[in-house]
């Protein structure tokens, strides 16, 4: 006898859905709890409605025009400002410390002790501009890398990462490996641990140069191993975050691989700006403690002439070009190209990429 299929009424259908949802929640409890935690943090920090409420319809910049294409000097990270002048004058626009035109400098890590990676010390503006072929003050030649590893979060997966890969790929002697993982950082290590991943990448790919760019997902509270909440920005949070960054950089340093950590650029939202500044400062300090790591301050690389956030830049020829994605965090490819050029100018005192291949794909 053929069994008659059971009839499903709407109420039974909803009951099936309810049972399924409950079972899914129990089987994916860690993920669900993580979601609950994230939602709670967003509600508490107001972040859930922040970008929607304030950014919908507004004049982006107080000036009536977006950023003009700036001249070489303004974007040249090698021009060194007087540190005292830098500290004294920190104009704050809309709660976000504005970058200054002439104050970019590359933070130098400190070599400490025997067995460290020897890094050429930038002695003069001329040298930093790459005009000198030797590096006075040190006997170390520039590193001639053969394999470059780019690692980071979504900032490497799109925008800066692909643009830098395209720049570097022009040098046919260079092999470039890019690993950008969305929604990662140093706060949520249970899903993805960058220290372990970097170790595996180094063992597998054996790079001689690493470029790091990440931190956008980290301005949130940390739940430590005992489940205790460490609030973002307080001393304990800073201590734990710094130790994770240090752990991440340790293996590369032990292997004597030269690493560049490109700091995050200026952001749009005031609240987020403040958080990213803290992230950048922690990273900068840790880079200075670890040998073989150079921190590149890129806060102003995508700012306008007044040091403010700008989503657009005016290219030669007059066309406005979007350099920041609509979420006001990520970079477009045009923004990535600008940041790549900025980084490569900063790095040329340390590395020699060799000649470009004329037949390589042009931008």
Summarize as ranges the residues that interact with another protein (CB under 8 A).
3, 5-24, 27-28, 31-32, 35, 39, 49, 52-53, 55-61, 63-66, 157-158, 161-162, 165-166, 169, 176, 178, 182-183, 191-192, 311-312, 314, 317-322, 326, 333, 360-361
Q: In the complex with another protein, which residue's Cβ is closer, 21 or 89?
A: 21
Q: How far is the CB of 258 from another protein (least distance, A)?
A: 22
Q: How far is the CB of 272 from another protein (least distance, A)?
A: 15
Token representation of residue 313: 């830049």
- CA separation for the pair 203, 255 (Å, rounded): 10
Q: How far is the CB of 47 from another protein (least distance, A)?
A: 14
Token representation of residue 297: 């301050």
Q: In the complex with another protein, which residue's Cβ is closer, 174 or 290?
A: 174
Q: In the complex with another protein, which residue's Cβ is closer, 61 or 123?
A: 61
Residue whose C-alpha is closest to residue 252's, from 282, 210, 306, 190: 210
Confirm if 264 and 280 have CB atoms less than 8 A apart. yes
- CA separation for the pair 272, 304 (Å, rounded): 18
> Count of CB atoms within 10 A of residue 331's CB?
27
Q: In the complex with another protein, which residue's Cβ is closer, 115 or 317?
A: 317
DSSP string, 228-259: -EE-TTSHHHHHHHHHHHHHHHHHHHHTT-EE
Q: In the complex with another protein, which residue's Cβ is closer, 201 or 282?
A: 201
> Count of CB atoms within 10 A of residue 238's CB?
16
- CA separation for the pair 14, 261 (Å, rounded): 52
Q: In the complex with another protein, which residue's Cβ is closer, 145 or 292?
A: 145
- CA separation for the pair 360, 363 (Å, rounded): 10
> Which residues, 6 or more positions from 65, have their beta carbon under 8 angstroms from its beta carbon?
314
- CA separation for the pair 257, 248 (Å, rounded): 13
Q: In the complex with another protein, which residue's Cβ is closer, 21 or 132?
A: 21
Q: In the complex with another protein, which residue's Cβ is closer, 62 or 228?
A: 62
Residue whose C-alpha is closest to residue 181's, from 143, 218, 145, 155: 155
> Count of CB atoms within 10 A of residue 3's CB?
5
Length of the chain equals: 363
Q: How far is the CB of 138 from another protein (least distance, A)?
A: 33
């Amino acid at each position: 006898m053929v069994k008659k299929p059971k009839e499903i009424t709407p109420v039974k259908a909803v009951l099936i859905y309810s049972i399924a949802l409950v079972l899914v929640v129990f089987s994916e409890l860690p993920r669900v709890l993580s979601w609950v935690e994230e939602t709670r943090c967003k509600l508490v920090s107001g972040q859930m409605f922040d970008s929607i409420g304030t950014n919908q319809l507004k004049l982006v910049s107080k000036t009536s025009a977006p950023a003009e294409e700036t001249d070489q000097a303004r974007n040249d990270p090698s021009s060194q400002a007087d540190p005292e002048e830098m500290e004294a004058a920190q104009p704050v626009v809309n709660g976000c410390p504005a970058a200054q035109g002439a104050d970019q400098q590359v933070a130098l890590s400190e070599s400490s002790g025997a067995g460290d990676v020897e890094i050429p010390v930038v002695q003069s503006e001329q040298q930093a501009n790459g005009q000198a072929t030797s590096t006075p003050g040190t006997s170390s030649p520039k590193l001639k890398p053969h394999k470059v590893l780019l690692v980071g979060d979504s900032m490497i997966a799109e925008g800066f990462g692909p643009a830098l890969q395209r720049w570097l790929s022009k040098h046919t002697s260079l092999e470039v490996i890019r690993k950008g993982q969305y929604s990662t950082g140093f706060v949520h290590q249970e899903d993805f641990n960058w220290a372990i991943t970097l170790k595996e990448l180094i063992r597998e790919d054996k790079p001689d140069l690493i470029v790091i760019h990440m931190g956008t997902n980290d301005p949130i509270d940390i739940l430590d191993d005992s489940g205790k909440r460490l609030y973002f920005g307080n001393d304990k949070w800073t201590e734990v975050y710094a130790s994770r960054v240090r752990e991440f950089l340790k293996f590369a340093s032990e292997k004597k691989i030269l690493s560049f950590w490109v700091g995050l650029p200026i952001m749009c939202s005031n609240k987020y700006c403040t958080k990213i500044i803290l992230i950048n400062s922690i990273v900068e300090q840790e880079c200075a403690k670890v040998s073989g790591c150079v921190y590149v301050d890129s806060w102003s690389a995508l700012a306008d002439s007044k040091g403010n956030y700008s989503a657009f830049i005016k290219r030669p020829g007059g066309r406005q070009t979007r350099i920041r994605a609509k979420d006001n965090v990520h970079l477009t490819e045009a923004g990535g190209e600008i940041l790549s050029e900025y980084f490569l100018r900063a790095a040329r005192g340390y590395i020699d990429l060799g000649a470009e291949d004329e037949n390589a794909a042009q931008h």
